[in-house]
């Protein structure tokens, strides 16, 4: 009995023939994202902008939604609440207030007055510009090191051409995600950096699956034109790629709709990342191999032009 296939196993779509269109779309996405980043800018969260952090403990379990609604009426700007550890422990983050230390202390007193009695304030800290700047550059470094490590892995696992193609696709995905956050004004914080790193891991997994089929076909089809070979490799793995993306999106949509405001931006970043990562793996990473002087004779002298079975 055959399993469920969202895409027919014997499908034959023309991807490589339309690569110029896909390259044009990707270039437009990158340029628009860069323009939005430098023009409109990102809505940096407390992690990167500085602000107030308060750790509280209550006698009973906290209703996060009610507390968030009460604090949002104070006019303090961006206020983020996160439950951690026990249901009675809450971390409150408030954006940096205009003015000096007196303004920050006034914001703290407003929060205390709103929360009322019976609250244990275990920690109150001000995240200054120096710490927020360090967190920002640590996030940039984390993304850069992840991309570098992926490049090295793909280089050794396949060939340098595959590594370059994969990194160009990943840079496309990361840039597009940042562009969407700038366009929509969503909060960009350490959770978003974690989402970007997760997106990179998901995207490279899709790319490696297709690249592995390309390498297999290179060994089996010595004389087939490279464009035709690459197109066949994409079609052979298309069912698996789409199925993986759809099942991942179902879980992420559940998180986005039911997870609440705390993880909404993270979930949105992941949803967009899965979509753009799937796009880049199919329409960008593989067609780029046509322009990277790919070796047509990888190490397998006994291979012949035999048919390749359909991907499951």
Torsion of CA 248, 253, 255, 256, to 10 degrees: 140
Task: Give the end-to-end CA distance of the chain in Å, rounded to a whole number.
Answer: 13
- In this prediction, residue 37 carries a pLDDT of 92
- In this prediction, residue 35 carries a pLDDT of 95
- Per-residue pLDDT tens digits of the chain, which is 312 residues long: 455 566 666 777 788 888 899 999 999 999 999 999 999 888 887 777 778 888 888 888 878 888 888 888 888 777 878 777 677 888 888 877 777 778 888 888 888 888 877 788 888 877 766 667 777 788 788 888 888 888 888 888 888 888 888 889 989 998 999 999 999 988 888 888 888 888 888 888 888 889 889 888 888 887 788 888 889 999 988 888 888 899 999 999 998 888 776 678 889 999 999 999 999 999 998 999 888 877 666 544 444 444 333 433
- In this prediction, residue 66 carries a pLDDT of 83
Domain parsing of the chain, residue ranges: 16-42+132-291, 51-127
Q: Which CATH architecture has domain 51-127?
A: 2-Layer Sandwich (3.30)
Looking at domain 16-42+132-291, what is its CATH homologous superfamily?
Multidrug efflux transporter AcrB transmembrane domain (1.20.1640.10)
- In this prediction, residue 308 carries a pLDDT of 38
- In this prediction, residue 112 carries a pLDDT of 86
Q: Of 215, 199, 198, whose CA–CA distance to 163 is shortest?
A: 215
Q: Can you tell me the distance from the alpha carbon of 80 to that of 260, in angstroms, rounded to the nearest whole number?
A: 12
């Amino acid at each position: 009995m055959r399993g469920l296939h969202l895409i027919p196993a014997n499908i034959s779509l023309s991807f490589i023939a339309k690569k110029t269109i896909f390259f044009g779309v990707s270039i437009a996405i990158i340029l628009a994202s860069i323009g939005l980043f430098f023009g409109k800018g990102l809505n940096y969260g407390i992690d990167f902008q500085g602000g107030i952090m308060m750790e509280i403990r209550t006698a009973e379990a906290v209703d996060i939604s009610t507390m968030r609604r009460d604090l949002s009426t104070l006019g303090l700007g961006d206020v983020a609440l996160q439950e951690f550890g026990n249901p009675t422990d809450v971390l409150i983050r408030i954006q940096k207030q205009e003015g000096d230390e007196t303004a920050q202390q006034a914001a703290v007193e407003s929060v205390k007055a709103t929360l009322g009695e019976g609250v244990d304030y275990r920690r109150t800290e001000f995240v200054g510009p120096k710490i927020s700047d360090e967190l920002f550059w640590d996030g940039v470094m984390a993304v850069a090191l992840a991309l570098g490590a992926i490049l090295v892995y793909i280089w050794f696992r396949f060939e340098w051409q595959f590594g370059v193609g994969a990194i160009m696709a990943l840079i496309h995905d990361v840039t597009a995600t940042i562009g969407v956050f700038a366009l929509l004004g969503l909060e960009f914080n350490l959770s978003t950096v974690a989402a970007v790193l997760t997106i990179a891991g998901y995207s490279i997994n899709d790319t490696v699956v297709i690249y592995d089929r390309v390498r297999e076909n290179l060994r089996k089809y010595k004389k087939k034109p490279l464009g035709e070979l690459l197109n066949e490799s994409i079609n052979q793995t298309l069912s698996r790629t789409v199925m993986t993306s759809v099942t991942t999106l179902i879980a992420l949509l559940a998180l986005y709709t039911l997870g609440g405001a705390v993880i909404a931006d993270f979930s949105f970043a992941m949803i967009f990342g899965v979509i753009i990562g799937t796009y880049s793996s199919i329409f960008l990473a593989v067609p780029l191999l046509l322009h990277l002087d790919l070796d047509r004779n990888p190490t397998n002298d006994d291979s012949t032009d035999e048919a390749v079975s359909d991907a499951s």
